[in-house]
Structure 1
């Protein structure tokens, strides 16, 4: 019982190749169109590529590897649709990339954006790759697999619901729209979409952790949570909104990340 290391090497190599192909094709179009934010919609699909590749090539428990592939693919497809709609709604690239890259040349853009995201996709999907090459133990530890899948499904539902609520809020007439979204899931967390996303990847690790060697992939969900909270997610949004009085009041009332009952007053 353990990991088929030769199979794991094949999975990692094939996943890396698939991710590289996706990133490379997107980079060509992004540089041609002057839209470096094209990288955003392929974040989910790149992880989906790794999950499906792992399931197809893996020698581990077939139910686990295909269940992980199915849930990851469903999450990735929804996120891709959501982010692609956001990119298409703008005539110019997201300001984040303009500020970060400035007049950077093609080689620097590829390195800083597409290579960096590709490496991150390979890291974040590490638990799924390891699970595909691992057997499930006969002990009670095997129940971590369904527990992790349940967390992934719940996280996907939370993220999707939060995104729909935000889309409905932003679609309202500007004169009738409140200064801050504080209803629905947004009444319990200031970043329920990012929280749901974190649950997906912690859940993938838990499902993988049914096999003892999976503890070695703990940096994967830790890195994902870091991205979502500090690097590109919640903290960045907070800094952008910090000067708005309505948002300052929202900060006092509503939990930062983990959904909790809002404070009174």
Structure 2
């Protein structure tokens, strides 16, 4: 069941996060902070949906736990990876292409856009959390997909971080572990676990 009011409140919450994080980026003169906040935007959306749901059941708690586990791990990983590093080269390029005035433009080019994407992508979450259908086979399939996706994303990130940490691997391409089977296991994992959320939403009555 789609809850339009909850969806709108989620959008307002993400807009607030975008503005606050933009102000923080001005103090640091670095917009890379948005990467650490990206997954947390989904956790905020899920919390809003659960708080405004007419009823809460096992699926509501399950989805909240799954979103929290994914969001917190990914945010911690990106924060640790970026700690002590200069602004990500992607944002440096965006900055160069949008001067003069990038400090203001970044509010909508970077932070507003990320908030909008997170809001739209979170649509399956509002359905999964608000739906009242009795849990069934699709829920189990969704959880199974989430587990597979989370494994690929987390292990893929770990293997790549360990590979890059070794100076001997500078300029080389990782071709062992999960990276032997897919060029980007972390992206594959993220894609897969979101299919899991889609199945949970479908089971909830979406």
What TM-score do the two structures reach when normalised by structure 2? Answer: 0.91
Give the match for residue 58 of structure 1. Answer: 53
What TM-score do the two structures reach when normalised by structure 1? Answer: 0.72
Identify which of 151, 154, 161 aligns with 2:155.
Answer: 161
Compute the displacement of 1:61 (Å).
Answer: 5.4
Gaps of 5+ in 1: 215-265
Cα displacement string for residues 151-176 of structure 1 (whole angstroms, at most 9, x for unaligned residues) = 1122112111011111111111x236
Between Structure 1 and Structure 2, how many residues are aligned? 203
Q: Matches of 1:176 and 1:152 in 2, distance apart? A: 31
Give the match for residue 16 of structure 1. Answer: 11
Residues 125-204 of structure 1: matches in 2 within 5 Å? Answer: 125-136=122-133, 142-172=136-166, 174-175=167-168, 179-204=172-197
Cα displacement string for residues 150-201 of structure 1 (whole angstroms, at most 9, x for unaligned residues) = 21122112111011111111111x2366822111101101100100011111
Compute the displacement of 1:13 (Å).
Answer: 2.4
Query: Secondary structure in 2 aligned to 1:175?
Result: helix
CA contact (8 A) 1:54 1:65 kept: no
Give the match for residue 104 of structure 2. Answer: 107
Identify which of 74, 80, 86 aligns with 1:79.
Answer: 74
Identify if the C-alpha distance between structure 1 residues 106 and 204 changes in structure 2 by more than 3 Å, giving closer, same or farther. Answer: same
- State the structure with bigger RCO (CA 8 A, min sep 6), 1 or 2: 2
Query: Secondary structure in 2 aligned to 1:153?
Result: helix
Gaps of 5+ in 2: none
Q: CA RMSD of the aligned region, Å? A: 1.8
Q: Is the radius of gyration larger for structure 1 or structure 2? A: 1
Q: Does 1:93 align with 2:87?
A: yes
Cα displacement string for residues 74-107 of structure 1 (whole angstroms, at most 9, x for unaligned residues) = 10000001111122130x2111011123224333
Identify if the C-alpha distance between structure 1 residues 178 and 113 changes in structure 2 by more than 3 Å, giving closer, same or farther. Answer: closer
CA contact (8 A) 1:59 1:132 kept: no
Q: Matches of 1:167 and 1:124 in 2, distance apart? A: 27
CA contact (8 A) 2:14 2:41 kept: yes
Identify if the C-alpha distance between structure 1 residues 65 and 169 changes in structure 2 by more than 3 Å, giving closer, same or farther. Answer: same
Query: Secondary structure in 1 aligned to 2:173?
Result: coil
Q: Matches of 2:44 and 2:36 in 1, distance apart? A: 13
